[in-house]
């Protein structure tokens, strides 16, 4: 990982299954020239992961740098595991845990 603490937030817009737009902001390290290294994993966004370097120019309307594209992928992957509620002894979610 690039040295430095995350000091910026990068906005990522995604479209959910119903067509609604989700917005999330990820902590990032500003590398200059509108390039950021993501410092945490996304919850909604696919195709980006922790430590990816992304091009995200600042958007005056949004007041955030907004992701346009990934410029470098160091090889990390984001894996999401969603459990059926409630997680109880013996049910499928408990077995996975």
Summarize pLDDT for 66-92 with one digit per residue, the tens: 999 999 999 999 888 878 778 888 887
Residue 78 lies in a domain: yes
**Is the previous residue joined to 86 through a cis bond, with omega within 30 degrees of 0?**
yes
Q: Does residue 15 carry a pLDDT above 90? A: no
Q: Angle 86-88-93 (CA atoms, 0-180°, nearest 5)?
A: 75
Summarize pLDDT for 18-61 with one digit per residue, the tens: 888 889 999 999 999 999 999 999 988 888 999 999 999 999 99
Output the pLDDT for position 48. 94
Residue 1 lies in a domain: no
Domain count across the chain? 1
Residue 3 lies in a domain: no
Output the pLDDT for position 89. 86
| Number of CB atoms found within 10 A of residue 7's CB | 11
Residue 2 lies in a domain: no
Output the pLDDT for position 2. 55
Output the pLDDT for position 51. 96
Residue 45 lies in a domain: yes
Q: Which domain holds residue 91?
A: 8-96
Q: Which residues does residue 35 pair with via DSSP β-bridges, in sequence order?
A: 32, 55
Contact 64, 10 (CB under 8 A): yes
């Amino acid at each position: 990982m690039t040295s430095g603490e995350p000091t910026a937030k990068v906005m990522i817009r995604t479209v959910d299954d119903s067509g609604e737009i989700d917005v999330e902001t990820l902590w990032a390290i500003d590398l200059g020239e509108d390039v950021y290294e993501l410092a945490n994993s996304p919850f909604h966004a696919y195709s980006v992961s922790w430590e990816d370097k992304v091009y995200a120019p600042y958007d005056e309307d949004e007041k955030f740098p907004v992701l346009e594209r990934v410029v470098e992928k160091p090889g990390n992957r984001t894996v999401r595991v969603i459990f059926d509620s409630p997680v109880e002894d013996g049910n499928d979610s408990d077995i996975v845990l």
